Amino acid sequence: MKKSVFLGALTVAGLAAGAAAAGTLDDVKARGKLNCGVTTGLVGFAAPDANGNWEGFDVGVCRAVAAAVLGDPQAVEFVPTTGKTRFTALASGEVDMLARNTTWTFSRDVDLKFDFVGVNYYDGQGFMVPKALGVSSAKELDGATVCIQTGTTTELNLADFFRKNNISYEPVPIETNAEGQQQYLAGACDTYTTDASGLAATRASFENPSDHVVLPEIISKEPLGPLVRHGDNEWGDVVRWTLNALIAAEELGITSANIAELSEGTNNPEVNRILGTEGNLGEMLGVSADWAKNAIMAGGNYGELFEKTIGENTSIGLARGLNAQWTDGGLLYSPPFR
């Protein structure tokens, strides 16, 4: 018994580590499908619709990568992961990439051996409380019961915040956003804390969103972005530049409406290089020449994707804020395509 458990663990570890070897790009092409790790369901970011089709902001990134590599935005196998299972899923090779509200931190990058390829949403941690509680600042939460998702940066920031402000709290650890929502609405916790975007998305799915407020304090920096395994730089490049293509497309005015026309050829060389009518960026990346065109057509450029899934005209209603282009005072800044 003792031995078999031990062996089993080693086998799992051995297989897991074995599958993590390089060559993801070839694997994906051979498989004809991208395995993309997303959340278990966060409306606006990644959630299946009534027909079981995944949609959302993070899902858009997955589809863009699939379109860039395979030419088909539908060739994605979405793998729902919780805050806790996501890293094991990526490290073991169960998914090729994660696009799932994951904060870029030092230890995840360096110690957990992942590569964050960029940031698709600049966020920060906030608190949501029922209006009836009469709380207007997070500093008034002394003694409160707080719902948090385990295995997240949220849980560490929370500990730091309460420690810094010398107040106490009672953590209620939960696995998924859905569970957190249930406990919060039943009053099993006074406040729910996670990334502010996640709070907005969660609140939007409530029956009476206006009964709840998100407190003004943002207690951390949460740059959320897609990530891949450390050490497979070719694959990392593909995901990184797909994301950059979406961002650059917005900056350069390439939209899903005009992309067909622009790919006939324009007099802007950078647009031509992105769309593959000039130069050989696709070849360098190991994908087809029209990779970026396919990626942008999958769900529009960054701005279009944002407006469609989480923007101000959706029920989630997030403003661009930090996530505007640098030319509009935001932080989005794609390195040049040349």
Ligand X SMILES: N[C@@H](CCC(=O)N[C@@H](CS)C(=O)NCC(=O)O)C(=O)O
Applying CB under 6 A, the residues found at the interface with ligand X are: 39-40, 42, 82-83, 100-103, 149, 152-154, 176-177, 194-195, 198, 222, 224
Question: Is residue 265 part of the contact set for another protein (CB under 8 A)?
Answer: no
Report the site for another protein in 179-198 (rule: CB under 8 A): 182-183, 186-190
Is the Cβ–Cβ distance between 282 and 290 less than 8 Å?
yes
How many whole angstroms separate alpha carbon 63 and alpha carbon 330?
Answer: 25
Told to check if 155 binds another protein by CB under 8 A, we report yes
Give the count of alpha carbons within 13 A of 14, CB side only. Answer: 6
Instruction: Output the smallest distance, CB 11 to ligand X, in A.
Output: 28
Closest to ligand X by CB, 203 or 273? 203
Q: Residue 34 or residue 42: which is nearer to ligand X going by CB?
A: 42
Q: Min. distance of Cβ 154 from ligand X in angstroms?
A: 5
Kindly tell me which of 198 and 236 has the beta carbon lying closer to ligand X. 198
Do 115 and 48 touch, CB atoms closer than 8 A? no
Q: Report which of 196, 163, 41 is spatially closest to residue 171, judged by C-alpha positions.
A: 163
Distance CA 160, CA 151 (A): 15
Q: Which of 71, 173, 286, 317 binds another protein (CB under 8 A)?
A: 173
- Which entry of ligand X, another protein, none binds 154, CB below 5 to 8 A by partner kind? ligand X
Told to check if 234 binds another protein by CB under 8 A, we report: no
Q: Is 257 in the site for another protein (CB under 8 A)?
A: no
Residue 218 interacts with, from ligand X, another protein, none (CB under 5-8 Å by kind): none
- Return the beta strands (E) in 103-182 as ranges: 114-116, 121-123, 125-130, 144-149, 169-174
Helices 233-252, 291-299: inter-axial angle, 10-degree rounding: 60
Burial (0-12, 13-18, 19+ Cβ within 10 Å), 268: middle
Does the footprint of another protein cover residue 249 (CB under 8 A)?
no
The closest alpha carbon to 312, from 323, 326, 301, belongs to: 323
The answer to the question of residue 221 lying near another protein (CB under 8 A) is no
User: Alpha carbon of 263 to those of 32, 260, 288, 304, 324: distances in Å?
Assistant: 25, 5, 14, 18, 25
Contact status: 145 vs another protein (CB under 8 A):
yes
Q: Which residues here bind another protein, judged by CB under 8 A? A: 2, 5-7, 9-11, 13-14, 16-18, 20-21, 83-84, 87-88, 91, 107-108, 111-113, 132-133, 141-145, 150-151, 155-156, 158-160, 163, 169-175, 182-183, 186-190, 230-231
